[in-house]
C-alpha cells in the first residue's frame, strides 16, 4: 500500500501526521538528499516539503525561511567534512597527512556534489556558520603544522589546497575531463605539485 501524502490526509504511513516527525535536522537531511540527487545547489522549501510529504508552510514551524535552511545545510556540510577529514588524517603526519586530506576532500565532493555546491563560499562572514567554518579550517592548519609555517603562510597554503581540490572537482563532477587519461593520476600529479611547494623544515 502506497504511503499517503499530505494532500490525502497528511499521513506519513505510520499512524501520525507527516508534520509530526519534522525537526530542523530532518528537514536538513531532506535538503541534503535533494541536492545530492539533483547534483546542483538548488534547494527550495517547496521541493524539500514535497520530498518530506508535507505542505510547505509546515516547514516554517522549524525554520526561519529559505535562507535559514541554506545556512543550516551549509553548516551540516562543513560539519560532515570536518569529521570525514579528521578521521582520514588521524595518526598521519607530514606529506602523508596532506596527501590523505586532499584525497578525502576530493572523494567527499565527488560523493556529495550537490551539498558541497550548496555550501556557502564565505561561511566565516555569517555568524550562524562561522564556528563550523573555523573548525573545518583547523583540520587543514593541523596537517600543515609539521611544515613550521608562519600563521599567514599556513592560511595561504590552506587556500591553495582548497583551490586545488575545488577547481579539479568542479570540472570532474561536471564531466569536463573528456580525454581518456586517468583522472586519478592527474589528481595525484596535482597533489605532488602541491606537496613540492611546501617548505621543508
Q: What angle do CA 118, 172, 111 make, to 5 degrees?
A: 55
87: Cβ contacts below 8 Å, ≥ 6 apart = none
Residue range 3-32: average pLDDT? 61
Give residues with Cβ within 8 angstroms of 164, minimum separation 6.
102, 190, 191, 194
Q: Say how far apart CA 162 and CA 137 lie, in whole Å.
A: 10
Mean pLDDT score of the chain, rounded to an integer?
Answer: 88
Task: Dump pLDDT digits (tens) for 35-82.
Answer: 988 867 678 899 999 999 999 999 999 999 999 999 999 999 999 999
Residue 9 has a CB neighbour count (10 Å cut-off) of: 9
Band the pLDDT of 178: cuts 50, 70, 90.
Answer: confident
**Residue for grid cell 583522472:** 183
Q: Is the pLDDT of residue 8 over 50?
A: no
Q: Where are the domains of the chain?
A: 13-66, 70-197
Per-residue pLDDT at 13 exceeds 70: no
What is the rounded CA–CA span in Å between residue 153 and residue 20?
50
Average pLDDT over residues 5-20: 40
Write down the pLDDT at residue 168.
Answer: 96
pLDDT, tens only, 94-139: 999 999 999 999 999 999 999 899 898 889 999 999 999 999 999 9
**Most confidently modeled range among 37-41, 141-145, 175-179:** 141-145
What predicted TM-score, i.e. pTM, was given to this entire model? 0.84
DSSP 60-84: GGT-SSHHHHHHHHHHHHHHHHHHH
| Third-level CATH fold of 70-197 | Tetracycline Repressor; domain 2 (1.10.357)
Q: What is the pLDDT of residue 20?
A: 59
**pLDDT over threshold 50, residue 2:** no
Domain at 13-66: CATH architecture: Orthogonal Bundle (1.10)
- Contact (CB, 8 A) for 162 and 176: no
- Residue 17's H or E segment, with its range, is none
Amino acid at each position: 500500500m502506497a504511503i499517503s501524502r499530505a494532500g490525502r490526509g497528511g499521513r506519513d504511513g505510520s499512524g501520525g501526521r507527516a508534520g509530526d516527525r519534522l525537526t530542523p535536522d530532518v528537514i536538513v537531511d531532506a535538503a541534503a538528499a535533494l541536492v545530492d540527487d539533483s547534483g546542483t545547489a538548488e534547494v527550495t522549501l517547496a521541493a524539500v516539503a514535497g520530498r518530506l510529504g508535507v505542505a510547505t508552510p509546515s516547514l516554517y514551524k522549524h525554520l526561519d525561511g529559505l535562507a535559514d535552511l541554506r545556512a543550516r545545510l551549509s553548516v551540516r556540510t562543513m560539519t560532515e567534512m570536518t569529521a570525514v577529514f579528521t578521521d582520514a588524517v588521524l595518526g598521519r603526519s607530514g606529506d602523508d597527512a596532506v596527501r590523505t586530506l586532499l584525497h578525502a576532500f576530493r572523494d567527499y565532493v565527488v560523493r556529495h556534489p550537490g551539498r558541497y555546491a550548496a555550501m556557502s563560499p564565505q561561511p566565516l562572514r555569517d555568524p550562524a556558520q562561522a564556528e563550523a567554518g573555523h573548525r573545518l579550517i583547523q583540520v587543514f592548519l593541523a596537517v600543515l603544522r609539521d611544515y613550521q609555517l608562519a600563521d599567514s603562510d599556513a592560511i595561504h597554503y590552506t587556500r591553495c589546497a582548497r583551490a586545488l581540490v575545488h577547481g579539479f572537482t568542479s570540472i570532474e563532477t561536471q564531466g569536463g575531463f573528456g580525454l581518456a587519461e586517468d583522472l586519478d593520476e592527474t589528481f595525484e600529479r596535482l597533489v605532488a605539485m602541491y606537496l613540492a611547494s611546501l617548505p621543508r623544515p
